[in-house]
Amino acid sequence: NRVHRIAVIPGDGIGKEVVPEGVRVLEAAAKKFGFKLQLDNFDFASCDYYEKHGRMLPEDWKDQIGKHDAIFFGAVGMPDKVPDHISLWGSLILFRREFDQYVNLRPVRLMPGVPSPLAGREPGDIDFWVVRENTEGEYSAIGGRMFAGTEREVVVQETVMSRVGVDRVLKFAFELAQSTPKKHLTSATKSNGIAITMPYWDERVKEMAKSYPDVKWNQFHIDILTAHFVMNPDKFNVVVASNLFGDILSDLGPACTGTIGIAPSGNINPERKYPSVFEPVHGSAPDIYGQGIANPIGQIWSGAMMLEHLGESEAAKAIVTAIEKVLAEPKLRTRDLKGPANTVECGKAIAEALA
Ligand code: NAD
Ligand code: IPM
Ligand code: MN
């Protein structure tokens, strides 16, 4: 009998509203597909926890969640209570780095029946993966402030690209591309302006491509690539990018599919030495928190990605099918998709469609 041990961390804001819907659907999937879930809930990695304890995580957080098969995460951040760089570097970014989740895998898909803000686009026109480097790059803690508080004040922050760090995420992306029917990969850089790290990334792409002769690939500077996302989204299959560019592309892509509220992600340690974290792409949305109107689909789809990672492929596919069924029904959509449903109604509808 298959048992999966999951650490559940709702975090802040709408994380606390969408995680229960994600859990509802995971439990429905377990029941239907005959596996067991052991769900352990944690209140840390939240700004409430920070206000009580003066830190985002307990000292022994790695012992508490490091042995689970996966982590099901909501969102962190309440900028009115705790500065974002403190709450995020003290939780999510730390998980990614300490658990060596060097791939952030973010599917972007226009779902049947959901209108795209891009005129004339149909499902199939927007269906690609963003593979985001997740442990180095522009997200670095290297730098500092000099002459603080004076007119000569200077701040410096370094971008870090290691050969191991770049190659391993490129390898993942090329292998993903190779496994898809289109066998195509796009790399995002900005080598005209950022003249040391970005040309290095390009160089490693060229080198890696030699090992995948059946994968066709191209590269764009990030500025024109954002334009192509809007003008020609059908040209993309696997898009691999540095930490910051991948972050930006993985909000822009989902926006082209109608809402960022449905977009899922996996922060993956492919070697499975550490647990991977599955969470929606969106954040804690303080502007709508407490109203019960958040779209739970990003969280629920992240649950499907988690089950796929745990070897429950059939259940994962069934969840995505249930999401598609519910999204096709205008009255079951949440407000971000101009529908009347609330968070719980949408979550329940997906759990029912699955059962
Ligand atoms: P956000 O994603 O939280 O919200 C952006 C906009 O999208 C808001 O108008 C929000 O209402 C809307 N939105 C987001 N998710 C939605 C959903 N499921 N359904 C309906 N509408 C949704 O981004 P932000 O406003 O830049 O950040 C808010 C806080 O969240 C900050 O503290 C930020 O640091 C944090 N954040 C955390 C994560 C994460 O935990 N992975 C990701 C992004 C932002
Ligand atoms: C994301 C978020 C985070 C990131 C923030 C909250 C630090 O935007 O997961 O996309 O930039 O990685
Ligand atoms: Mn982001």
Mean pLDDT over each residue of the chain, to the nearest integer: 98
The pLDDT assigned to 167 comes to: 99
Q: String of b and e for 302-322 (b: at least 16 CB within 10 Å)?
A: bbbbbbbbbebeebbebbbeb
Question: Which of 261, 284, 302 lies closest to 104, judged by CA?
Answer: 302
Residue 279 CA: nearest ligand 2 atom is 9
pLDDT at 1 over 90: no
Q: Is 15 in the pocket of ligand 1 (CB under 6 A)?
A: no
Q: Is 21 in the pocket of ligand 2 (CB under 6 A)?
A: no
Q: Is 287 in the pocket of ligand 1 (CB under 6 A)?
A: yes
Over residues 292-314, the mean pLDDT reads 98
Q: Whose CA is nearest to atom 1 of ligand 2?
A: 281
The pLDDT assigned to 321 comes to: 98
The pLDDT assigned to 178 comes to: 98
3-state secondary structure of 335: helix
Over residues 310-335, the mean pLDDT reads 98
pLDDT tens digit string along 59-86?
999 999 999 999 999 999 999 999 999 9
Residue 11 CA: nearest ligand 1 atom is 40
Dihedrals phi, psi of 191, to nearest 5 degrees: -80, -10
pLDDT tens digit string along 18-61?
999 999 999 999 999 999 999 999 999 999 999 999 999 999 99
The answer to whether residues 132 and 106 touch, using CB atoms and an 8 Å cutoff, is yes
The pLDDT assigned to 216 comes to: 98
The pLDDT assigned to 352 comes to: 98
Q: Is 279 in the pocket of ligand 2 (CB under 6 A)?
A: no
Q: Is 88 in the pocket of ligand 2 (CB under 6 A)?
A: yes
Q: Is 253 in the pocket of ligand 2 (CB under 6 A)?
A: no
pLDDT tens digit string along 88-146?
999 999 999 999 999 999 999 999 999 999 999 999 999 999 999 999 999 999 999 99
The pLDDT assigned to 111 comes to: 97
Q: DSSP letters along 289-330, please?
A: TTSS----HHHHHHHHHHHHHTT-HHHHHHHHHHHHHHHTSG
The answer to whether residues 130 and 186 touch, using CB atoms and an 8 Å cutoff, is no
Q: Whose CA is nearest to atom 12 of ligand 2?
A: 247
Q: Please give the domain boundaries of the chain with CATH numbers for all domains.
A: 1-100+276-355 (3.40.718.10), 127-256 (3.40.718.10)
Q: Is 285 in the pocket of ligand 2 (CB under 6 A)?
A: no
- 231 C-alpha to ligand 1 centroid (Å): 25
Dihedrals phi, psi of 341, to nearest 5 degrees: -75, 150
Dihedrals phi, psi of 225, to nearest 5 degrees: -65, -40
Q: How confident is the model at residue 154 (pLDDT cuts 50, 70, 90)?
A: very high
Global ipTM? 0.99
- The residue whose CB lies within 8 Å of the most ligand 1 atoms, and thus the one to mutate among 73, 282, 295, is 282
pLDDT at 227 over 90: yes
Taking the alpha carbons at both ends of the chain, their separation in whole angstroms is: 20
Calpha distance 78→291 (Å, rounded): 16
Report angle CA 100, 106, 107 to the nearest 5 degrees.
150
Instruction: Please give the radius of gyration of the chain, using alpha carbons only, rounded to the nearest integer.
Output: 20
0.90 cut: is pTM over it?
Answer: yes
The pLDDT assigned to 10 comes to: 98
Q: Is 283 in the pocket of ligand 1 (CB under 6 A)?
A: yes
- 107 C-alpha to ligand 3 centroid (Å): 13
Q: Is 47 in the pocket of ligand 2 (CB under 6 A)?
A: no
Q: Using DSSP, how many helices (H) and how many strands (E) does the chain show?
A: 12, 12
Q: How far is CA 230 from the centre of its chain?
A: 20
Helix (H) or strand (E) holding 149: none
Q: Whose CA is nearest to atom 1 of ligand 1?
A: 283
Residue 76 CA: nearest ligand 2 atom is 6
Q: Is 336 in the pocket of ligand 1 (CB under 6 A)?
A: yes
Residue 279 CA: nearest ligand 1 atom is 41
